[in-house]
Amino acid sequence: MSREPDIQAIGTPNPRSVKFLTDRTLLASGSADFRSPDHAIRSPLAHRIFDLEGVEGVFICQNFVTVTAIDDGMWSRLTPEITEAMKAFLVSGEDIVQPSATDQNAPEATEVEARIKDILDTQIRPAVAMDGGDVVFVSFEGGVVNLKMQGACGGCPSATMTLKQGIESRLRHFVPEVRSVEAV
């Protein structure tokens, strides 16, 4: 029998999102963002969390789940419910996220896109993950990097500042071809 997972609830800069850090590996790499129960079809864990009243979004990363509530006044009720739901699920041994057919069909990156992705993966994503979120590369066209903000970063009051002052300045410093960064 597997020991009970350790789960710790940690606030994020987004008052509507809480990061649930666990001692288990949830995803070997990458992340999965679910903005509604309909999108959670490939994640039994996300689906179980969406079953709790007041949940608006579920974001799963390597060793944490960030949950976004309809409003920030729900956390006194939701935190213990989410913690218990996660513990029960993790002990069950079910797959956390089932692979998607689109996961394996990504086009080959250009040299500039590869540099952008490397900076995102090594310098930016780890810092953003500390706040319960993620930044995913979408495209690079005409000097503009398009990124998707996920988890606590999606809808966070400070997301624009993070995007423009943090991510954009870092990418422009290391990749001269980058003129601006936009959220999509």
CA atoms of 113 and 39, how far apart (whole Å): 28
Co-location of 56 and 14 in the same domain: yes
Co-location of 120 and 164 in the same domain: yes
Co-location of 89 and 50 in the same domain: yes
Q: Is residue 2 part of a domain?
A: no
Co-location of 25 and 93 in the same domain: yes
Structure confidence by residue, pLDDT tens digits, 137-176: 999 999 999 998 888 777 777 767 777 778 898 999 999 9
Co-location of 114 and 34 in the same domain: no
What is the pLDDT confidence band of residue 50, given thresholds at 50, 70 and 90?
very high
Determine the pLDDT at residue 7: 96
CATH of the domain at 83: 3.30.1370.70
Determine the pLDDT at residue 127: 82
Determine the pLDDT at residue 100: 65
Number of domains in the chain: 2
Q: What's the maximum distance between 2 C-alpha atoms anywhere in the chain?
A: 54
Query: Among 101, 125, 150, where does a domain finish?
Result: 101
Co-location of 14 and 94 in the same domain: yes
What is the pLDDT confidence band of residue 134, given thresholds at 50, 70 and 90?
confident
Burial class of residue 117 (count of CB atoms within 10 Å of its CB; 0-12, 13-18, 19+): middle
CA dihedral over 130, 29, 53, 156, signed as positive or negative: positive
Identify which has the larger pLDDT, 37 or 161.
37
Co-location of 86 and 71 in the same domain: yes
Residue 73 DSSP SS3: helix
CATH of the domain at 138: 3.30.300.130
Query: Among 101, 133, 166, where does a domain finish?
Result: 101
Determine the pLDDT at residue 9: 96
Structure tokens at 46: 């996300």
Determine the pLDDT at residue 28: 85
Domain coverage including residue 128: 106-183
Query: Among 51, 74, 101, where does a domain finish?
Result: 101
Co-location of 88 and 24 in the same domain: yes
Co-location of 55 and 83 in the same domain: yes
Q: Is residue 1 part of a domain?
A: no
Co-location of 89 and 137 in the same domain: no
31-60 average pLDDT score: 92
